[in-house]
């Protein structure tokens, strides 16, 4: 889903349920701004994130924030793979001034049954 906050476009990248590379790539492929040519591999992820501000329209001028949610199960199950994915996001941010990637502190976008509210 794409939103707008303070002029910046915001895209949610939901990794809920991902515990391996396939789950990571499935979550990335579901992002509403992911290009149709995304090949579900790290090179394609790097290319799509570095070229990201051309999608959605206006992102170059206004900036784009990608909010990564639900990453903790994957990061815990596959720490070396998660580190590689995190490096891909970090490199895209370094190469693309209009792009910001934020990681949520929660482990899942689903509410926990053992917590109130």
CATH of the domain at 64: 3.30.370.10
Average pLDDT of the residues of the chain: 79
CB burial of 46-72 (b: ≥16 within 10 Å; e: otherwise) equals bbbbbebbebeeebeebbbbbbbbbbb
Dist. CA 80–CA 57, nearest whole Å: 34
Q: What is the pLDDT of residue 50?
A: 67
CA distances from 41 to 58, 104, 107 (A): 27, 23, 23
* Structure tokens that stand for 92 in this block: 């895209």
Q: What is the pLDDT of residue 114?
A: 40
- The range of the structural domain enclosing residue 84 comes to 2-103
Dist. CA 12–CA 7, nearest whole Å: 16
Q: What is the pLDDT of residue 57?
A: 66
Output the pTM of the full model.
0.75
Considering only residues 47 and 76, tell me which one the structure prediction assigns the higher pLDDT: 76
Considering only residues 25 and 109, tell me which one the structure prediction assigns the higher pLDDT: 25
Q: Domains in the chain: how many in total? A: 1
In a domain, 33, yes or no: yes
């Amino acid at each position: 889903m794409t939103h707008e906050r303070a002029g910046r476009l915001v895209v949610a990248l939901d990794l809920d349920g991902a515990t391996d590379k396939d789950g990571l790539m499935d979550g990335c492929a579901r992002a509403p701004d992911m290009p149709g040519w995304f090949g579900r591999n790290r090179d394609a992820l790097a290319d799509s994130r570095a070229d990201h501000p051309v999608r959605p329209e206006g992102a170059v001028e206004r900036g784009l924030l990608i909010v990564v949610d639900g990453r903790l199960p994957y990061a815990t199950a596959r720490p070396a793979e998660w580190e590689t994915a995190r490096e891909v996001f970090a490199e895209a941010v370094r190469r693309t001034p209009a792009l910001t990637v934020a990681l949520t502190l929660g482990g899942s976008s689903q509410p926990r049954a053992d917590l109130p509210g």
